[in-house]
């Protein structure tokens, strides 16, 4: 275990951080983070919509959701190339890149303009088009990068810099438009459908019990070595948002949600207390004999109720073999139980946007499906994770007691 921890610290950790800091990868992550505040508006709509069930003729606030979560892919297509160029320190075409990212996405989504009418399938602009939006944004950023060092004007030109940049941007804009024209207008390719087909294996894997479990396991595994679980966001966030949009569409059409792996599923049932399911651990800390652990439990309990577990993770779990192992096991077990329970129809799969991950359990999962059976599942998972944590914590408690006794003896 010591060799493994040393390898994770000296070899894997730096490589994982380097991968996460790659400007193209980190830009996808930053784009998702930037888009979350807008998409959270849908979460507030979800809360308010509860009143529709109890107050007759209560106003319908779905308009807010339609113009936030309903346009989330368009927003990502705009933000992504802008953020990529910022990270590459190529601000020359940053403003044009955002606009062209949105244009590329609309072209890929088969938008048409005829007889003064702009037409596009609204479902393609929502979270369902997230992967297409990412592809459009990265393509736009790449073309802009290729032309970033070229200019129509010499170094001694008297042309103002901002005006020269505007003229220079015409070249990459023309290339982007020609490529979109050939693909979408000449060849009549439905790029949205093609890209969706290409990423479908990834989505299918993530939507399986194995894939969903692997995602939450890797998040906890990396976190136990001090590596932020946000490194997995570019993988599971687009998949989860796409699934939620499809579930919502199915419910709106009178059907049932059918995709278990959503962002809401992960935060509601597989990260109880934060990544690694540490809420039950905080509760158990209160009953430890070690004063250190008891104090840490008191300090960490309230943050954990709001799914913030950095104090307890960095305070005692990171690089601690006795607590790292159950931290890997708990989310994996929760994932399997949640997946099987939802697939069996015992708990409704999330179909309402609710990205307020800091809302306490079990309110958080209930807001995603309005199903009290989901609340029961959360309480059961808290109990199950407590059972998993218990033997490892007892062993660690004895270690801490011995250390405290030794320190007390030396002090005397």
- Report whether pLDDT(391) > 80: yes
What whole-number distance in Å separates Cα of residue 200 and Cα of residue 213? 18
Domain spans of the chain, in order of start = 19-199, 207-411
- Name the average pLDDT for the chain: 88
Q: Write the DSSP symbol of residue 349.
A: P
Distance of CA 28 to the CA centre of its chain: 10
What whole-number distance in Å separates Cα of residue 114 and Cα of residue 5? 62
pLDDT at position 181, please? Answer: 95
pLDDT at position 409, please? Answer: 64
* Cβ atoms of residues 363 and 268 within 8 Å: no
pLDDT at position 219, please? Answer: 93
- Report whether pLDDT(121) > 60: yes
Residue with tokens 């008191």: 298
Give per-residue burial for 179-198: e unless 16+ CB within 10 Å, then b.
Answer: ebeebbeeeeeebbeebbee
Dihedral of CA atoms 317, 310, 366, 37 in degrees, nearest 10, equals -150
What whole-number distance in Å separates Cα of residue 137 and Cα of residue 127? 15
pTM beyond 0.75, yes or no: yes
Task: Name the packing angle between helices 72-87 and 94-108 (round to 10°).
Answer: 140
- Report whether pLDDT(261) > 60: yes
Per-residue pLDDT of 196-249, as tens digits, reads 999 999 889 999 999 999 999 999 998 998 888 878 888 888 999 999 999 999
- Burial (Cβ within 10 Å: 0-12, 13-18, ≥19) of residue 176: buried
pLDDT at position 164, please? Answer: 66
Q: What is the mean pLDDT of residues 278-283?
A: 94
Q: Write the DSSP symbol of residue 175.
A: H
Per-residue pLDDT of 165-187, as tens digits, reads 677 788 899 999 999 999 999 99
Per-residue pLDDT of 65-117, as tens digits, reads 888 888 999 999 999 999 999 999 887 888 899 999 999 999 999 999 888 89
Give the model's confidence band at 42: pLDDT under 50 very low, under 70 low, under 90 confident, else very high.
confident
At 112 the three-state DSSP class reads strand
Show the tokens assigned to 27. Answer: 């830009």
Give the model's confidence band at 159: pLDDT under 50 very low, under 70 low, under 90 confident, else very high.
low
């Amino acid at each position: 275990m010591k060799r493994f921890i040393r390898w994770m610290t000296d070899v894997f950790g730096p490589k994982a951080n380097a991968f996460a800091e790659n400007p193209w990868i980190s830009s996808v992550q930053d784009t998702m983070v930037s888009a979350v505040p807008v998409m959270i508006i849908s979460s507030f709509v979800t809360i308010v919509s509860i009143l529709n069930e109890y107050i007759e003729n209560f106003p319908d606030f779905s308009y807010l959701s339609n113009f936030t979560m309903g346009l989330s892919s368009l927003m990502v297509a705009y933000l992504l190339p802008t953020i990529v160029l910022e990270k590459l320190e190529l601000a020359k075409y940053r403003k044009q890149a955002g606009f062209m990212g949105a244009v590329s996405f609309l072209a890929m989504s088969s938008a048409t303009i005829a007889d003064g009418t702009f037409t596009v399938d609204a479902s393609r602009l929502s979270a369902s088009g997230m992967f297409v939006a990412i592809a459009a944004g990265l393509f736009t950023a790449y073309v802009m990068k290729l032309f970033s060092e070229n200019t129509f004007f010499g170094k001694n030109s008297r042309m103002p810099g901002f005006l020269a940049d505007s003229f220079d941007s015409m070249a990459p804009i023309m290339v982007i438009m020609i490529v979109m024209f050939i693909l979408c207008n000449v060849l009549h390719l439905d790029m949205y459908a093609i890209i969706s087909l290409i990423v479908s294996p990834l989505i299918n894997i993530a939507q399986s019990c194995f894939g969903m479990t692997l995602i939450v396991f890797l998040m906890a595994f990396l976190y136990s070595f001090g590596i932020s679980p946000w490194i997995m966001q570019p993988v599971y966030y687009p998949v989860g948002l796409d699934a939620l949009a499809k579930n919502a569409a199915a419910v709106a059409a009178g059907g049932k949600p059918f995709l278990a792996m959503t962002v809401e599923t992960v935060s509601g049932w597989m990260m109880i207390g934060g990544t690694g399911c540490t809420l039950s651990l905080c509760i158990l800390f209160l009953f430890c004999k070690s004063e250190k652990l008891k104090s840490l439990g008191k300090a960490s309990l309230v943050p954990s109720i709001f799914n913030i577990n950095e104090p307890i993770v960095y305070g005692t779990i990171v690089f601690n073999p006795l607590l790292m192992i159950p931290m890997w096991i708990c989310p994996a077990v929760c994932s399997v139980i949640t997946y099987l329970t939802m697939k069996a129809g015992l708990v409704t799969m999330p179909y309402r946007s609710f990205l307020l991950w800091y809302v306490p359990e079990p309110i958080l999962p209930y807001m995603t499906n309005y199903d009290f059976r989901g609340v029961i599942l959360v309480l059961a998972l808290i109990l199950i994770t407590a059972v998993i944590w218990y033997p490892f914590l007892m062993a660690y408690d004895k270690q801490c007691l011995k250390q405290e006794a030794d320190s007390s003896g030396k002090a005397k």
